[in-house]
Amino acid sequence: MARILITSYVMRDLVMYYINSYLQRVFIPWLERYGYDYQLLYEENNTRENFEALVVDKDTVLLFGHGRPEYVTGYKYLPILVACENDHLLKDKKVVATSCLTGRKLALTSINKGAKLYVGYLKEACLVVQYCCEDLHNCDLVGKFDPLQDNLALPFLNVLFYPCYLVVQNYDPETIYNETIKVYDTMIDKALEYSKELEAEGKREDAEAWSEVAKYLMWDKNAFTVIYSGEERPAPTTRRELLPVTVSTVFALPICAVAMIIPRK
């Protein structure tokens, strides 16, 4: 069974508040229910020093944090995993990074250093949310609402975590890629269908909101990649029985922000 290292933080970051809410209330309880061995580096413990010390005996690494092409951040947006510096520590490990852009460089250098596979994003990863602040990295709303009640965000959170379930269960790279793309397509279709229903009801603002959800899900789908042995976006393979996808009942809410999983410079 997988030995998993998870890194995450919130601080006052709105995007990470959403992601960590799903992580701690949905994904980690699932790990515990099925007896997976995991360690969580969270908030001030999510440092490069701690990451390097704990990653050694793990076989699966799940990185939840902002990113750039060459690194993933931890607490206070300081890099914890950097291309050509400590990516050799990923040798023989499976990696999922929900960060923006790391599929461009960090994924490739990690594979070259011996990582088994790297799931990530080639472009900025987007998350449509109902709630927003002028400064998404220093948001007064953090802790004052329940992100899992934000129906605009739920399709993004569902599909963002879907590869994590597959990697932990040791699915092959082709299946991870193909099934995640299938989930993106499902979410996009449902968002567009709901937008049309709302338009027919004369609820133009709500219809536009769900049209935006579909647009940014498509953006994320096109940015998603699975790289292994130097290959990316693998050819189709035979599908197996997988975890069911949670497609929540949705009620239209006005769109407020499109938040990108990327740190400020």
Work out whether the CA dihedral 152, 66, 161, 148 comes out positive or negative.
Answer: negative
Express each pLDDT in 80-103 by its tens digit: 999 999 999 999 999 999 999 999
φ, ψ at 61 (rounded to 5°): -125, 120
Integer angstrom CA distances of residue 2 from 143, 171, 188: 32, 12, 31
Token pair belonging to 68: 């750039």
Lowest mean pLDDT among 52-61, 166-175, 209-218, 251-260: 251-260
Write down the pTM of the prediction.
0.86
Question: DSSP class of residue 7?
Answer: E
pLDDT band at 231 (very low <50, low <70, confident <90, very high): low
Furthest CA-CA distance within the chain: 57
pLDDT band at 139 (very low <50, low <70, confident <90, very high): confident
Express each pLDDT in 164-203 by its tens digit: 999 999 999 999 999 999 999 999 999 999 999 999 999 9
pLDDT score of 262? 34
C-alpha 125/C-alpha 63 separation (Å) is 14
Asked if residue 241 has pLDDT above 80, the reply is no
Express each pLDDT in 142-160 by its tens digit: 888 999 999 999 999 999 9
Domains and CATH numbers, the chain: 3-260 (3.40.50)
- β-pairing, 71-73 vs 79-82, is antiparallel
pLDDT band at 130 (very low <50, low <70, confident <90, very high): confident
Provide the 3-class DSSP secondary structure of residue 187.
helix
